[in-house]
Amino acid sequence: MRISASTGFEPDGPGARRLGAWFLLGLMLAGTIVIWRHEFDQLQVMKVQRVDSDIRELRRNFERQIEAYLDGLRAARGLFAASLTVERQE
């Protein structure tokens, strides 16, 4: 900043430009941090949603497999209930 005889400071001096550059740099850095934080939070939400989706899919597969096993057991029970003796050929 230059000192002027009439006002004391000259607003377009190199000090004012340097201050403006630092202000702009700080503003851009703050904007970058805000955007980064938003994207980071969105990524965390997406990760949680994906894990939840994977858990639901695993649960459905597990339940389907258990149902298949139960169907086999029910068929075997029906076979034994239908006849007095069960032979290997049946």
pLDDT tens, 41-71? 999 999 999 999 999 999 999 999 999 999 9
* Residues 44, 48, 49, 52, Cα dihedral to 10°: 170
Give the model confidence (pLDDT) of 72-85 as tens digits.
999 988 888 888 77
Q: What is this structure's pTM?
A: 0.55
